[in-house]
């Protein structure tokens, strides 16, 4: 297993312009890797959720553009830029909700544009993809420390979906807070929701926590209300795919009911995300595009049909949690609280030593 400092690396740039990534659709039963030098394979991997999680989707897109740059032989700069824009459009269309995808593509295109000639553009794209990857991991560690400082000793957390190394390139956002809290002796246990329909909680979060030796309990999504009402959870901590300028949060379907239940039961509801997940060009959550995925993901469980043929199903992959339900947004630059327009804009201006 590729690891850095004993940590899981879900994606890696190999020498000779190749990428290796762990196929997340096969975990936890099968730890297998996909290797490619073709950016189209990475676009397909994002679409098919072999790689997933907002920050990792952005990192993968940046590496994909670096691969696309290698394809052209002795092309001139204009031809290279046109090829990169075509690749960027294909990548941008893979999943619409996570803003990190567009953010990383814009950064990479700008770096290529600024390069003097094709060779330096190719080098610059590879360097930029690595920089984005390293900066995300460093940001995660700061998010972890900022989040852990908000928790009381002996806390049990509840989390949804997968926000760990597998979703971020290394360490994690919400799961990074669990890791950091465990390191300073504040974390008792993590309740992990299954996260239907694709079971990112049951398949991926439990796998990461088990590898780290962090105590967890897996529950069905609908158990969360009961746990909160019984006082078994001290904080709900989730990630985000996009945060609007007013603090509304798009995240995995089922996040919004968790926020409402947390409020109802007087439990803090924290959102952990890097600054790259905040979309200052989107003023409110209603403007965020929500990915609608195949109904087959709902009518089947691990490939087995769970309803009769022909049943109608809807499969929105994300929901919007209004900022009124969010106790705080934890970033690498600090912790934002309501009113979010001002506090998030303030964090953007903060010194961010880890983000290059
Ligand atoms: O559909 P997915 O698995 O890509 O959804 C992932 C989530 O909703 C995560 O909570 C979010 O991307 C944040 S990951 C740090």
Could you report the per-residue pLDDT of 140-182, keeping only the tens digit for each? Answer: 999 999 999 999 999 999 999 999 999 999 999 999 999 999 9
For residue 266, pLDDT beyond 90: yes
Q: How many domains does the chain have?
A: 2
Range of weakest confidence among 63-72, 203-212, 268-277: 63-72
Q: Quick check: CB of 195 below 6 Å from ligand 1? A: no
Q: 225 with 299, same domain?
A: yes
Pocket-testing residue among 200, 291, 318, ligand 1, by greatest number of atoms within 8 A of Cβ:
200
5, part of any domain: no
Q: 235 with 163, same domain?
A: yes
For residue 253, pLDDT beyond 70: yes
pLDDT band at 327 (very low <50, low <70, confident <90, very high): very high
Q: 154 with 289, same domain?
A: yes
> What was the pLDDT predicted at 2?
45
Q: 271 with 299, same domain?
A: yes
pLDDT band at 351 (very low <50, low <70, confident <90, very high): low
Domain's final residue, options 89, 118, 140: 140
- Give the mean model confidence (pLDDT) for residues 295-321: 96
Q: How far is the CA of 161 from the centre of ligand 1 (A)?
A: 6
Q: 175 with 254, same domain?
A: yes
Q: 299 with 259, same domain?
A: yes
Range of weakest confidence among 62-76, 148-162, 176-190, 207-221: 62-76
209, part of any domain: yes
Judging by beta carbons within 10 Å of its beta carbon (0-12, 13-18, 19+), is residue 130 exposed, middle or buried? middle
Q: 126 with 165, same domain?
A: no
Q: How far is the CA of 4 from the centre of ligand 1 (A)?
A: 22
Q: Quick check: CB of 170 below 6 Å from ligand 1? A: no
Rounded distance, CA 191 to CA 229, Å?
14
Q: Which residues are CB-neighbours of 74 under 8 A, at least 6 positions away?
A: 118
252, part of any domain: yes
Domain's final residue, options 105, 140, 175: 140
Pocket-testing residue among 239, 255, 298, ligand 1, by greatest number of atoms within 8 A of Cβ:
239
Percent of the chain residues topping a pLDDT of 90: 91
> What was the pLDDT predicted at 303?
87
Q: Which CATH number does the domain housing residue 158 bear?
A: 3.40.50.10470
For residue 220, pLDDT beyond 50: yes
Range of the domain at 325: 150-347
Q: Which CATH number does the domain housing residue 52 bear?
A: 1.20.120.420
Q: Quick check: CB of 239 below 6 Å from ligand 1? A: yes
Q: 176 with 285, same domain?
A: yes
353, part of any domain: no
Q: 316 with 200, same domain?
A: yes
For residue 4, pLDDT beyond 60: no
**37 within 8 A of 17, measured Cβ to Cβ:** yes
Name the residues annotated as catalytic: 241
Rounded distance, CA 325 to CA 242, Å?
16
> How many residues does this entry show for the chain?
356
Q: 113 with 233, same domain?
A: no
């Amino acid at each position: 297993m590729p690891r850095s400092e004993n940590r899981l690396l879900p994606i890696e740039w190999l020498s000779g312009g190749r990428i290796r990534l762990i196929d997340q659709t096969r975990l936890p039963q099968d730890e297998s890797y996909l290797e490619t030098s073709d950016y189209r394979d990475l676009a397909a991997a994002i679409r098919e959720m072999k790689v997933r999680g907002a920050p990792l989707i952005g990192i993968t897109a940046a590496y994909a553009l670096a691969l696309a740059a290698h394809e052209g032989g002795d092309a001139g700069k204009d031809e290279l830029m046109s090829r990169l824009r075509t690749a960027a459009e294909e990548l941008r269309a893979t999943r619409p909700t996570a803003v990190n995808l567009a953010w990383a593509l814009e950064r990479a295109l700008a770096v290529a544009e600024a390069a003097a000639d094709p060779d330096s553009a190719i080098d610059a794209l590879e360097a930029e993809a690595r920089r984005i990857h390293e900066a995300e991991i460093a940001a995660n560690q700061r998010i972890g420390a900022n989040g852990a400082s908000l928790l009381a000793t002996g806390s049990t957390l509840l989390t949804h979906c997968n926000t760990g190394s597998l979703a971020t390139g290394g360490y994690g956002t919400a799961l990074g807070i669990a890791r950091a809290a465990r390191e300073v002796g504040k974390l008792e246990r993590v309740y992990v929701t299954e996260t239907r329909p694709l079971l990112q909680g049951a398949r991926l979060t439990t796998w990461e926590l088990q590898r780290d030796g962090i105590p967890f309990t897996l529950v069905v999504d609908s158990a969360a209300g009961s746990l909160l009402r019984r006082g078994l959870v001290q904080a709900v901590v989730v990630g985000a795919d996009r945060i609007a300028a007013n603090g509304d949060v798009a995240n995995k379907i089922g996040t919004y009911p968790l926020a409402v239940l947390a409020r109802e039961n007087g439990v803090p509801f924290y959102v952990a995300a890097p600054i790259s997940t905040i979309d200052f060009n989107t003023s409110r959550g209603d403007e965020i595009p929500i990915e609608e995925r195949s109904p087959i993901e709902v009518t089947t469980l691990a490939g087995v049909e769970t309803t009769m043929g022909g049943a109608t199903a809807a499969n929105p992959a994300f929901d919007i949690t209004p900022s009124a339900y969010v106790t705080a947004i934890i970033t690498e630059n600090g912790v934002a609280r309501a009113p979010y327009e001002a506090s998030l804009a303030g964090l953007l201006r903060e010194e961010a030593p880890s983000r290059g």
